[in-house]
Amino acid sequence: MEVATQNIKIETNELLNKFKHHLGIENNKRILFSGPFGTGKSTFLNEFSEIEKENFFYLKIFPVNYSVSKNEDVFELIKFDLLMQLMGNYYEEIKLEKEDFTLLLKSQLFIMERMKFMPLLYAILGFSEKIGAPIVNFIKALGQTVGDFNKFSSDLKIDEENGITAFLESIQQKSGSHHEMDAVSELIFDLIGRIKTKYPKKKSVLIIDDLDRLDPEHIFRLFNIFSAHSHEKDGENKFGFDMVIFVCDIENIRKIFHHKYGQGVDFSGYIDKFYSIVPFDFNNRMYIKAKTGELLREIRFSSDYLQQTYNFYRNTRFFTTFKALTLSLIEARLLNLRMLIQYPVLNVPEFYIGNGKNSVDSPLIVLFYLLKNFYCSFDILQMKIIEMKEKFDTETFLSNHENQYMVNNEGEIKNLISYCLSYLLPDEKANEDNTKEPKTFFLEKYNCTFHYNGFGNNYDLFYNYIKSTRGNSPNTEPIKLNPYQILSDTFEICNKRGLLR
């Protein structure tokens, strides 16, 4: 499978095969499909649904569209949603009869009355806008099967004073029980069964997308509905689906759970009952990282000067540092595909930053503006840098990277610290004349001595930063610094100087 990103293709065939294998595990009836926001989960599942349409048929619901509704009404809206999709997508397979529409229209009247919706047709069309159900086929089927809705309602003797009232009362008496709206559930069960009969080799799949974007009450209610409400006799899923796929970020669910119930409550013991085997980790980072260089080169600068100075094909030293930081953020799950591809044209405001230097002449300032564009604000960027810093040993600042975060080689770390160094040193040191002899300076904050060259050179293989040695003596053993601690501290210095506007 390929995901089109502008003109760049991100290959995910290996991930596609892994997910197909996961679905093929015996008795894997409830799947928790987990991945952070913006990583392309919905796009992946859409592609998978299309590729595997000979082996599965799907219904998809997006409960976030019901988030304005009361908690107790969400399940009724799900039923309505499923019925609309069944009518619109599988009309030929289910061969509706007048009796089916009788119950369907009663349920619609129930929803309209209980939730104060607009008249039936407007309500249906409104839902089709949100859930994407092909409603034209349903309206055509409705006309062919039962004719005029008003006449049909009259035949059934359903009106505001008699039928609806009696219907509501009968439902409300059972509210909250296992059989709440049971007749509608049975209709859905029956219609899905008809499709299975038509396509005996296909498995039925319900995809519940964006679950963790709901109110916490809705999230846990839906988990319970589609897990506890399985068929008692043979353990089937609700409505008879062969598989139910919950799409969310399990880490978000974990945070929501602990916020609601407290840190001392066992999350694993709670969440385990909602999936059959193990959660499927939608980890497409390796595929995105493989294309990161191409994606970054799509970025355009707002001025000719910036475009010329920081041209990614010519200024390889700057591009290598920017790419290394971007890859690190992706690997740490702090930057996703959506952020990466929705990159606007970069504008760096020009202002005097001291020492006769313009902001656009400082690679570090331009680098911060590039990274800021991923997150829309410097405040959010600072939080992400701090998170990266905390992935290292914060007591000794010894790097734990092992090519995991700053990828490829030590040169990328040296280059990043080189960009930061002129802001960490006192002004007189950063501005002293550039001699060929290496210099040293003890920075008490890190309890180490920095060894560095002058700041006049900027060619690709030249690093201002040479090494760090422990303590106040330049002759002690070298130590590895935490590059994100350095970056975080430098960010704070630039922010306090008013350089990040």
pLDDT at 483 (0 to 100): 87
Distance CA(424)–CA(448), nearest Å, equals 13
pTM equals 0.72
Q: Average the pLDDT over each of 124-133, 281-290, 415-424, 492-501 and give the range with the smallest value.
A: 124-133
Tokens 């506890």 belong to residue: 228
Distance CA(280)–CA(77), nearest Å, equals 27
pLDDT at 235 (0 to 100): 62
Query: Measuring CA to CA, which residue among 209, 249, 278 is closest to residue 58?
Result: 209
Classify residue 344 as left (phi > 0), alpha (psi -120 to 50) or beta.
Answer: beta
> Does residue 403 carry a pLDDT above 80?
no
Strands 203-208 and 243-248: parallel
Most confident of the following: 82-86, 176-180, 227-231, 307-311: 307-311
> What's the token pair of residue 116?
């104060």
| pLDDT bucket at 131, cuts 50 / 70 / 90 | very low
Distance CA(319)–CA(316), nearest Å, equals 5
> What's the token pair of residue 117?
């919706």
Q: Average the pLDDT over each of 26-30, 178-182, 384-388, 444-448 and give the range with the smallest value.
A: 178-182
Q: How much of the chain, in percent, has pLDDT values that exceed 70?
A: 70
Average pLDDT over residues 85-113: 64
CB 336 within 8 A of CB 36: yes
Query: Measuring CA to CA, which residue among 270, 285, 389, 278 is closest to residue 340?
Result: 285
User: HSE on the CB side for 89, CA within 13 Å?
Assistant: 17
DSSP letter at 96 equals -
pLDDT at 112 (0 to 100): 47
Distance CA(22)–CA(178), nearest Å, equals 31
pLDDT at 238 (0 to 100): 83
CB 95 within 8 A of CB 194: yes
SS3 label, residue 207: strand
Question: If you compute the radius of gyration of the chain from its CA atoms, what whole number of angstroms results?
Answer: 30
Read off the pLDDT of residues 200-256 as tens digits, 9 standing for 90 and up.
999 999 999 888 887 787 788 888 777 754 544 456 788 889 999 999 999 888 988
Read off the pLDDT of residues 311-340 as tens digits, 9 standing for 90 and up.
888 888 899 899 989 988 888 888 988 888
Query: Measuring CA to CA, which residue among 211, 203, 210, 206 is closest to residue 239?
Result: 206
Regarding predicted confidence, which is higher, 222 or 396? 222
CB 490 within 8 A of CB 424: yes
Instruction: Work out the mean pLDDT of the chain and round it to a whole number.
Output: 76
CA 299 to chain centre: 22
Query: Measuring CA to CA, which residue among 337, 324, 402, 422 is closest to residue 367?
Result: 324
| pLDDT bucket at 129, cuts 50 / 70 / 90 | very low
What are the residues facing 486 on neighbouring strands? none
What HEC string does 402-441 produce? Answer: CCCCCCCCHHHHHHHHHHHHHHHCCHHHHCCCCCCCCEEE
Q: Average the pLDDT over each of 10-19, 28-37, 215-224, 330-339 and give the range with the smallest value.
A: 215-224
Distance CA(361)–CA(341), nearest Å, equals 26
Tokens 């409603």 belong to residue: 135
Q: Average the pLDDT over each of 87-96, 284-293, 364-373 and give the range with the smallest value.
A: 87-96
